[in-house]
Amino acid sequence: MTDFTDRRKGEEAKYAMDEDTAFRVAARRNRLLGEWAAGLMNLTPEETEAYKKAVVQADFEEAGDEDVIRKLLGDLTQADCDVDEATVRAQLAEKSVEARRQLMSES
């Protein structure tokens, strides 16, 4: 019985660590996306910091990435930036890889 309990605890610890890593990667990715979009919108450094936080917060609206994509597209369109959904999705994928790489290099 001890082996089963130890295995279950190990599985739970791994799951918790994987979830934590996924959360941190998504948050880092969203900050990187916010920085990219802020550059397109020519925001000041202070506005860029605030915008990166707003993009991270947007990800809590619903499960998945659609809330972040919707925010970025809306903000970029409002700022008269010539960016389409495919470009935003490509940046999302690129920033995901970059965020994971950054976090792994910090470990």
Which helix (H) or strand (E) segment is 67 a member of? helix 66-78
Report pTM. Answer: 0.84
- Asked if 40 and 83 count as a contact pair (C-beta separation under 8 A), the reply is yes
Which of 64, 15, 58, 8 has its CA nearest to residue 37? Answer: 58
CB atoms within 10 A of CB 2: 6
Report for 12-26, 36-50, 53-67: range of highest mean pLDDT? 36-50
Rounded Cα distance between 79 and 37, Å, is 10
- Asked if 56 and 30 count as a contact pair (C-beta separation under 8 A), the reply is yes
Residue 1 has pLDDT above 70, yes or no: no
pLDDT score recorded for residue 16: 81
pLDDT score recorded for residue 6: 78
- Asked if 52 and 37 count as a contact pair (C-beta separation under 8 A), the reply is no
- Asked if 58 and 71 count as a contact pair (C-beta separation under 8 A), the reply is yes
Q: Is it true that domain 26-106 has CATH number 1.10.790.20?
A: yes
Residue 18 has pLDDT above 80, yes or no: no
Mean pLDDT computed over 11-38: 90
